[in-house]
Amino acid sequence: MVLKLRNIPLCYGKAGIGVRFKIVMHSFLVFFMSGGHEQVTLPLEMLMVFGSAKLLDEIFERLKQPGIVGQILAGVLIGPRVLGWMAPNDFLAALGQLGVMFLLFNVGLEVKSTDLIKSGRTATLVATLGVAVPFLAGWGLLSIWGKPRIESIFVGAALVATSVGITAQVLAAKGLLQERASKIILGAAVIDDVLGLLILAVVSSLAKGKVNLVELALTATLAVGFTWLVLKWGTRTMGRVIPNINQKLHAGEAQFAAALVLLFALSVLAVYAGVAATIGAFLAGLALSGSVEDRVHDLAQGVTELLVPFFLVGIGLHLNLATFASWPTVALALLIVTAAVLSKFVGCALASYRLGWPDSARIGVGMIPRGEVGMVVAQIGLSLGVIGQSIYDTVVFMSIATTLIAPPLLRVVFKTPIAPTTRYQSM
């Protein structure tokens, strides 16, 4: 039986039905996104991303699996390598960046800065070993595989930094942000970002043939100083400012508007200080956590629910399965994923072993996702010409794979009951 749509045969049967469906849907999308239909492009893109993400989110939740995995796989499904409906673009990247910023801001609103400061010693050790072990594992693995030294070092750098947005989303969705392990994960992720930045600066300098120690020291000082300043004094300052907002400002949702101004201001300052904008967003939420009304929490949650799917789908869109046409590439990709998971888990769990196995396992698993961070490092290496396209695609695969692996593992390790008497002990 054959149906025709614009002279494209759609055949029922085993041969070619997937290809025919893809062609028809592509033609449908081209029709709506061309000619006199420019105005529909934006809502259509948002519909495809948001709709597919929430659909697979619901399906995975019904299957008792983390919905976040479904949202990432939605990006793989509608991406250029499967259905071909969407490809990574600047618009989706911008929405995704906003999504992870609001996600970390929302997480910061639920956490007290004093709790993070209390976990400082353990969080610092977790971040340090969680950076050192993966870096050496990636460098060593690629060296054994016979890759050039600078390419091996870049892969090691790509294994370093944790994408805390993925873990934060899972913990927030399950109401686990107040657990001791969760607070150490968040604190370690902030320090991890600073250490990852310094390692990236060093390996980028090596790729260019020169290392400026003065510049590196200045970057480290600015990054650490900015983070500590906001962490130490932000909550106290906002505690004096925010209660007066409603009395002095007459605009609607004045507290929420002030919170957004702080979010974007600290995000900008974070970038200039040498850390990620998402860290600035998290610190903004942290500074406001004890002073804003519940209404601000509700509005921030609403914006987060809108934007986070674009961040998660954007990760899935980058998967390029065509790279894995040869068995050596497949073997290397699997080895890199294994090294990324085990090295981060072992390093972070070992650093927190004195908290007991349940918490150390939670911390180790919570630091596994690399997400967009690994992709950024790989992109820098590719632009500098020090890693090849196949290694770039392999690192992107590692970033997505670790992001997919972590949520189910988090669900498993957080099932272990925590004794109420130990949950809020000094860390």
| pLDDT at position 185 over 70 | yes
23-37, 113-127, 141-155, 268-282: the lowest-pLDDT one = 23-37
The reported pLDDT for the residue numbered 143 is 92
How many CB atoms sit inside 10 A of residue 290's CB?
15
The reported pLDDT for the residue numbered 161 is 79
| pLDDT at position 191 over 70 | yes
Q: Mean of the pLDDT values across residues 117-146? A: 90
Most confident region among 102-116, 256-270, 306-320, 387-401 by mean pLDDT:
256-270
pLDDT higher for 115 or 342?
342
Q: Record the pTM.
A: 0.74
C-alpha span between 40 and 49 (Å, rounded): 14
| pLDDT at position 89 over 80 | yes
Each residue's pLDDT tens digit, 250-303? 677 888 999 999 999 999 998 888 777 888 888 898 888 878 888 888 999 999
Q: At what angle do helices 67-78 and 164-173 cross, to 10 degrees?
A: 130
Domain ranges of the chain: 89-413
The reported pLDDT for the residue numbered 18 is 54
Q: By percentage, how much of the chain surpasses pLDDT 90?
A: 20
Half-sphere exposure for 195 (CA within 13 Å, toward CB): 23
Q: Mean of the pLDDT values across residues 199-210? A: 76
325 pLDDT tier (thresholds 50, 70, 90): confident
Q: By percentage, how much of the chain surpasses pLDDT 70?
A: 86
The reported pLDDT for the residue numbered 144 is 92
10-19, 227-236, 292-301, 375-384: the lowest-pLDDT one = 10-19
The reported pLDDT for the residue numbered 7 is 40
Instruction: Match 């849907």 to its residue by tokens.
Output: 25
The reported pLDDT for the residue numbered 27 is 57
9 pLDDT tier (thresholds 50, 70, 90): very low
Residue 234 tokens read as 């932000």
CB of 369 closer than 8 Å to CB of 163: yes
Each residue's pLDDT tens digit, 10-44? 444 444 555 555 555 555 555 555 555 556 678 88
Q: Mean of the pLDDT values across residues 193-221? A: 76
- The region that residue 276 occupies, defined by phi over 0 for left and psi between -120 and 50 for alpha, beta otherwise, is beta
For every residue of 14-63, DSSP letters joined together read SSSHHHHHHHHHHHHHHHHTSTT-GGGHHHHHHHHHHHHHHHHHHHHHHT
CB of 299 closer than 8 Å to CB of 364: no
| pLDDT at position 3 over 80 | no
Burial 174-206 (b: 16+ CB within 10 A, else e): eebbebbbbbbbbbbbbbbbbbbbbbbbebbee
Q: Please give the class, per CATH, of domain 89-413.
A: mainly alpha
